[in-house]
């Protein structure tokens, strides 16, 4: 039962495309470089709000390449691995599923999207814990 719950949670994060009422135009976004992501996100606990599902979760990307996830909207937690590509595309693998995002800032807030396309909806917005 617990494993099925965790799998459902991770599928929401990694597979379900976000639907926002108004996609944020890519030109208003400043995408983070690999070095900026390493300085900004790695080693810090973040709280993520998935805009499609409303799920609130806590993430911590450790410098050794592992990541911890805790669902704050219900039961479920998992650990996995992350990699950061030279172009800033971060991929997380948990329970044999992989999801990838580009991180960006807009108006001082940090968020992510599946692509850098002008019509790419924001998947999640984050804040630091």
**What is the DSSP pairing of strand 30-31 with strand 97-106?**
antiparallel
Which residues constitute the domain of residue 44? 2-128
The pLDDT confidence band at residue 28, using thresholds 50, 70 and 90, is confident
Kindly report the pTM of this predicted structure: 0.78
Check which CATH number belongs to the domain holding 119 and give it.
2.40.128.640
CB 80 within 8 A of CB 94: yes
- Say how far apart CA 107 and CA 59 lie, in whole Å: 22
Tens digits of residue pLDDT in 41-68: 999 999 999 999 999 999 999 999 999 9
How many independent structural domains does the chain possess?
1
CB 88 within 8 A of CB 101: no
Tens digits of residue pLDDT in 12-25: 444 333 333 445 45
Residue 48 class from Cβ within 10 Å (0-12 exposed, 13-18 middle, 19+ buried)? buried
The predicted structure's pLDDT at residue 117: 87
């Amino acid at each position: 039962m617990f494993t099925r719950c965790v799998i459902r949670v991770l599928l929401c994060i990694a597979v379900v495309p976000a639907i926002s009422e108004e996609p944020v135009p890519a030109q208003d976004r400043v995408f983070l470089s690999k070095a900026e992501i390493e300085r900004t996100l790695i080693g810090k606990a973040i709280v993520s709000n998935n805009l499609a599902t409303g799920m609130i979760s806590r993430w911590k990307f450790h410098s050794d390449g592992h990541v911890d996830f805790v669902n704050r909207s219900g039961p479920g937690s998992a650990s996995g691995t992350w990699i950061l590509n030279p172009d800033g595309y971060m991929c997380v693998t948990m329970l044999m599923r992989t999801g990838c995002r580009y991180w960006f800032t807009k108006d001082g807030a940090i968020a992510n999207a599946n692509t850098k396309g002008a019509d790419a909806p924001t998947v999640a917005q984050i804040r630091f814990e």
